[in-house]
Structure formats: structure tokens, C-alpha cells
Amino acid sequence: MNFVVALPTEAKPIVEAFGLKKYSQKTPFPMYKNDLHTLVISGVGKNRASSATGYLLGRNQSTCPVFLNFGIAGHGSLPLGSAFLATRIISDQESENYYPPQIISSRIRKSPLCSVSKPVTDYPEEIGYDMEAHAFFATACLGTTRELIQVFKVVSDNPNHSIAQIDGDQITQLIAGSLPDFQTICGQLQSMEKEINPKSEEIEFKTIGYSIHPFSQTQRHLLDRLFRHAHSLAIDQSIILAGLRSGKSAKEAIRNLEKILEPHRVIK
Amino acid sequence: MIDQIYFEEEIEDHPRTQEFFARFPKATLTPCLHYKEVFNPVGQNFRLQKQKPGLILAKQNGKRIQSIPESYGIGGKQNFYFSHLLNCLYDCRYCFLQGMYPSAHYVLFVNYEEFWDDIFEKTSQSSEIPTWFFSGYDCDSLAMESTTRFVEFFLPLFAKNRNAHLELRTKSVNIRTLKKYSPSPNIVTAFSFTPEEISEQLENGVPKVKSRIKAMLELARQGWLVGIRIDPVIDCIDFENRYAKLFNQLIKDLPLPSLHSVSLGSFRMPTSFFRRIEKLYPHEPLFAGKLTNKNNSTTYLPELEHNRLQVCKKLLLDLLPQEKLFLCEMNSSSP
Ligand code: SF4
């Protein structure tokens, strides 16, 4: 999963909870990692959020990765410390609106969110206010499916508590207080990511299959389809590989595979 | 369970919108400028959204009534379809909606009155020829009745306008609203079926075949006209026995005068939809069947298709008169 946060004080509880380590090589943004997750600290504002998200997208290996933006936000009506998932993300500068699909099952609050170019102090509407989410979403949706892009915010200021009253430690505490919700979101997003991305065993199997003959690019596409069908029809991998190996050429190997599949192509 | 409602700002005060807000007090309400802002963007995953679709309340300002070819019809000369709802409560793996729509959210057009005005106008234009209106092209006509109250609104109107014929197409057993009214000869409730073994594999969330037959018989016994839709016909092992068993189950207790029509259609959909669905469910055995791409349409291989349809046709003609049987050529959704 990929996390984009604006401030180090927001990142701290997540870095600790997930055991992320500072990435030692030089990167354009401070970055923390473990085997499963990468977190970048973008800095404040839309340009930084967009660049950091783009940077993470560029590094990504997965077809449909998870992108989560979290941090503090102002809110027109929610009390301090309440956490919410953004349902609609608007901007004071852009006309496009985003609606992250609400597919997470939880009791976490939901709220519209407006990304502004300057901090808001008068909270004109009963919605959230931040400075990054819109740019984050706009960039992330270029590289992954919208269900896996979510924005999770914790209220740090509202009409009764100005942002000027909050210091770095308090920000860290607010984020730490919403860790259980954060983990719920991550857990569900992670299983959705698994559901729609190819399994590593399949990728390995494909690599083995490709290596048997010098298949052209077109033939590889054909093979991919046949491998998929073989999997759907529950044909054992050893039978598939034997079929490919018994062909004297790439063409013959594909023909063999088609013959193996043919009698099974019917619903049980 | 609907826990996310989007609504077009323009229709926030529409009485039907307000009724929804009142009926789902726990739902999160999110305004949007136009339903397409939520429904249409590229880069959505239908499969993931299907796990928890939201409801979008919108107004259909575009063309509300679309004509369809005579070949899709069930004997009528003038055929139209209209969609008050996009997407379906159920999740049939062969359904073309998964390939046609970028999103699995339900879009409900709340301006029922304007749909009716258009239907009325179409009917008045040709008052001598009966005009057919099909409501189950982009959704199941009854499955979401408790949410949409679509039948509740349209049924009395059609009942009063006998020249306008309505087909409600469904896999639901939600016949409560229909049962409240006296049967109308211009309204047909058409139930779609595949054999039980296929239904269990491919029709997720759909009531069991037996329960659907029971619902159909209940309506027929009350005097309603019913239809049977064997669409899509799915190639499977033990094909003839399975379909023969299904047809016998369907017809044996049905009073024949209540049977309006039976239609047959093979599995088929535009290839661009098929490719999208295949990507969503790469390990679905249905998609590894003996399929081919013919004129940008994905269908069974011609010989297989012909054979399967002929088998069904023969089995059905042993049970009912020829004039009740129709061949259908639209896409495979058919609730
Ligand atoms: S085939 Fe019909 S019942 Fe099944 S999901 Fe599609 S519209 Fe719904």
C-alpha cells in the first residue's frame, strides 16, 4: 500500500505502527518502507501532494495499487479528533470533483472535503477542509482504480478550535487516536487489492511457460489467454507444462495446449 | 442495504428524493452536480464496487424511451424500452451490464412522471397498434421494488391504458406489489431461468429456481399473464437433461392461458463488454467456453449455438404451442 501524508508529525504514528523504516537512498521526498507499504511525506499543498503521489505511482510494481492519503483537516461541524473518510472531494481552484467509491464497511464517519489553497479559518460549510486530497486523488486515479484510492482525515480544527491552537505533538496524538480506524481501512483495502491483482503464483507460472519456447509477443498474448482458461477450467499446471514441452516449436506448443483445453470448455 | 446515497443537487427537493432520505435515515448523503460525475469516470472497478454499491438519485433529462427492434419483441409491432434504474441487485456472471457500465452503483431516475408522459405520448401516437414497453433492460424490474417503488407507480397507470403493454422482466420473487392489484391483460411479468445447476454457479444473489417458479405460479393463479425467458441459454454438461428438467418444472403446473410467451436467446454480448468482464473475472469458467467473436459480438461457436437453441426449441415445442415461442436477439442481461 502507498501512503501520502503532508507532515512528519502526521506520519509518525503510522511509521511506528507499521514498523516502517526510513528509506536510505536519496529520494525527492522523505520515504519510509517495509515489504508491503511505502509512505511518503509530501509537504503541504496541492503541488507537493501531486508530485509525491506521482513519484510513488512511478515506483509502483502492482497493476492496481492502493493509495491512501491521510492527515489532519479542518471541519465545519465535526468535533476535534473525529476521523472521517472523504465522500466527495472538491477544490477551491479546480472544477473536477472526485467521489471515492465508499466500499469500506465500517462505522467510520463520512464527509465531503474541500481542498483549499490557503488555510481556512471561517469554515463556511459543514464539510472538511484540507490542502492536499484533491491533487492527491487527481494524480492517483491516473494509475489505479478509484476504489483503492481513499482519503482519511482526522479533525484538528473547527469553528471552536482554531488551527493556531494545535502543535506538532497534538497532531501526532490526534493521528495516533485514529489508528484503529486507519488499520480497518488498510485491512479492507489490502484484501481488495489482492482480489483484483494477479497472484504471484500465476505470474511465476507464466514466466515458466514463456521460457519453454521462444514465443513472440503475439504468441505470449495467446498463451496468457490459454493459461487463464486452463486455470478457470481447473486443469493441472503440470499437464499444461507437459503440453507445451511436447511441442517442437512455439506454434506447435500452443496448438497442443488448445487441444488439451478443448474438451474441458463447458460449464459443469 | 443502502448506506451511501448520492443525489443530483437539482433534485434534492424532489418529493421522491426526500422520501428516499427519510427511508434511509442512516445513509450518508452526498450531493453531486450530475450523476455522471459519480457513475461515468474511467478507472472504476465494477467487481469491487459490486460488493457495496451506492444509490445515485438522478433525473433523466435525456431520451427516456428507446425503440428496440421487432426481433427482440414478443409479438408486438412497436417495441420500446425504458430504464428508470441502471444496474441490478443481483450479480449474474453472464450479465452484460458489468461490461457496459463503468460503475456498479445503482442509478435511479426519480422523475417517474416524465417517463410516464413519454410512454403515454408514444402510445397515443399509434393508438391502433399495441405498443410494448420493456422495463428490464438495464436492471431487474422487481428486485429492488421495496427501494424504488417503481411497480407501485407504473402498474396502475398501465392498467388504465390498455394499449400500452408492459413487460416486467425479473429473476426476483418480489411479487408483493403485483399481488395487491387485479390482473391486467396488458402487463406481463416475465421470469428468466437457467437450470438450477447453472443458476447456482452463475447467478449470484438470485433466488433459487424453485422459489422463482413458485412466485410465477402464484401470479399465474391470480390471473396475471406471465412470461418465461430462457435467456441466456448456457452451454453445460448434461445440457439436454438439465434443460428438459427445467422446462418440465416450469410448465407442468402452469395454467397455459396464463402463459403469455416463452422466449429463447443464446449467450451473446458485444465483444468490447465481454473483454471488460473477462478482465474483471479472469477465472470464470463461463468465459473459457466455446466462444467466438462474430461481428463484434461474443457468442458460442455457430454450430454449438444452433444446436443448443434447437435442442431447447424442440423440448419446448413438446410442451407448448409454437405461437407462444419467440427467439430473442438482444444482449445477455435479461433479469
Ligand atoms: S442478468 Fe438480469 S438479474 Fe442478472 S445481474 Fe443482470 S440484470 Fe440482474
Cell triple for residue B289? 467456453
The answer to whether A232 contacts B287, with C-beta atoms less than 8 Å apart, is yes
Residues A114-135: pLDDT tens digits? 999 999 999 999 999 999 999 9
Of the candidates A124, A119, A115, the one whose C-alpha atom is nearest the C-alpha of residue A93 is A115
pLDDT band at B128 (very low <50, low <70, confident <90, very high): confident
Q: Is residue A138 domain-shared with residue A202, that is, in the same domain?
A: no
Q: Is residue A45 domain-shared with residue A115, that is, in the same domain?
A: yes
Question: What's the predicted TM-score (pTM) here?
Answer: 0.95
Query: Any idea which architecture B4-328 has in CATH?
Result: Alpha-Beta Horseshoe (3.80)
Answer with the residue of higher pLDDT: A164 or B11.
Answer: B11
User: What are the two backbone dihedrals, phi and then psi, of residue B13, each rounded to the nearest 5 degrees?
Assistant: -90, 0
Q: Is residue A63 domain-shared with residue A137, that is, in the same domain?
A: yes
CA A184/CA B241 separation, integer angstroms: 48
| Backbone angle region of B153, left / alpha / beta, with phi > 0 → left and psi within -120 to 50 → alpha | alpha
Taking the CA of residue B91 as reference, the ligand 1 atom at the shortest distance is: 5
Q: What is the span of the domain harbouring residue A148? A: 2-195
| CA–centroid distance, residue B72 to ligand 1 (Å) | 17
| pLDDT given for residue A171 in this prediction | 96
State the best of B30, B94, B284 to mutate against chain A, taking most chain A CBs within 10 Å. B30
Which residues pair with residue A67 across a beta bridge? A2, A149
CA B127/CA B125 separation, integer angstroms: 6
Contacts of B203 (CB under 8 A, 6+ apart): B90, B91, B92, B93, B171, B194
Tell me, using a 6 A CB cutoff, whether residue B138 lines ligand 1: no
How many separate domains does chain A show? 2
B237: part of which helix (H) or strand (E)? none
Q: Is residue A150 domain-shared with residue A233, that is, in the same domain?
A: no
Question: Among residues A140, A166, A195, which one ends one of the domains?
Answer: A195
Q: Is residue A44 domain-shared with residue A172, that is, in the same domain?
A: yes
Q: Is residue A10 domain-shared with residue A72, that is, in the same domain?
A: yes
Q: Is residue A9 domain-shared with residue A92, that is, in the same domain?
A: yes
Above 0.85 for ipTM, yes or no? yes
Question: Among residues A140, A174, A195, which one ends one of the domains?
Answer: A195
pLDDT at A170 over 80: yes
Q: Is residue A103 domain-shared with residue A188, that is, in the same domain?
A: yes
CA A126/CA B213 separation, integer angstroms: 51
Residues B16-47: pLDDT tens digits? 999 999 999 999 999 999 999 999 999 999 99
| CA–centroid distance, residue B1 to ligand 1 (Å) | 18
Cβ density class B126-148: b for 16+ within 10 Å, e for less: eeeebbbbbbbbbbbbbbbbebb
Residues A80-127: pLDDT tens digits? 999 999 999 999 999 999 999 999 999 999 999 999 999 999 999 999
| CA–centroid distance, residue B187 to ligand 1 (Å) | 20
Using CA positions, which residue lies closest to atom 3 of ligand 1?
Answer: B335
Mean pLDDT of chain B: 94
Q: Is residue A212 domain-shared with residue A100, that is, in the same domain?
A: no
| pLDDT given for residue B76 in this prediction | 72
Question: Among residues A140, A163, A195, which one ends one of the domains?
Answer: A195
| pLDDT given for residue B328 in this prediction | 75
Q: Is residue A174 domain-shared with residue A202, that is, in the same domain?
A: no
SS3 category, B270: strand
CA B226/CA B210 separation, integer angstroms: 16
| pLDDT given for residue B127 in this prediction | 72
| pLDDT given for residue B176 in this prediction | 96
Q: Is residue A184 domain-shared with residue A161, that is, in the same domain?
A: yes
What is the side-by-side order of every strand in the sheet holding B4-8? B28-32, B4-8, B55-58, B106-109, B85-86
CA A89/CA A81 separation, integer angstroms: 20
Residues B201-260: pLDDT tens digits? 999 999 999 999 999 999 999 999 999 999 999 999 999 999 999 999 999 999 999 999
Report chain B residues whose CB lies below 8 A from the CB of A112.
Answer: 30-31
| pLDDT given for residue A40 in this prediction | 98
Q: Are A84 and A153 in contact (CB under 8 A)?
A: yes
Can the peptide bond before residue B232 be classed as cis, meaning omega within 30 degrees of 0? Answer: yes
CA B194/CA B250 separation, integer angstroms: 11
Q: Is residue A187 domain-shared with residue A101, that is, in the same domain?
A: yes
What is the side-by-side order of every strand in the sheet holding B325-327? B65-67, B78-82, B131-134, B164-170, B187-192, B225-233, B259-266, B325-327
| pLDDT given for residue B70 in this prediction | 67
SS3 category, B19: helix
Tell me, using a 6 A CB cutoff, whether residue B171 lines ligand 1: yes
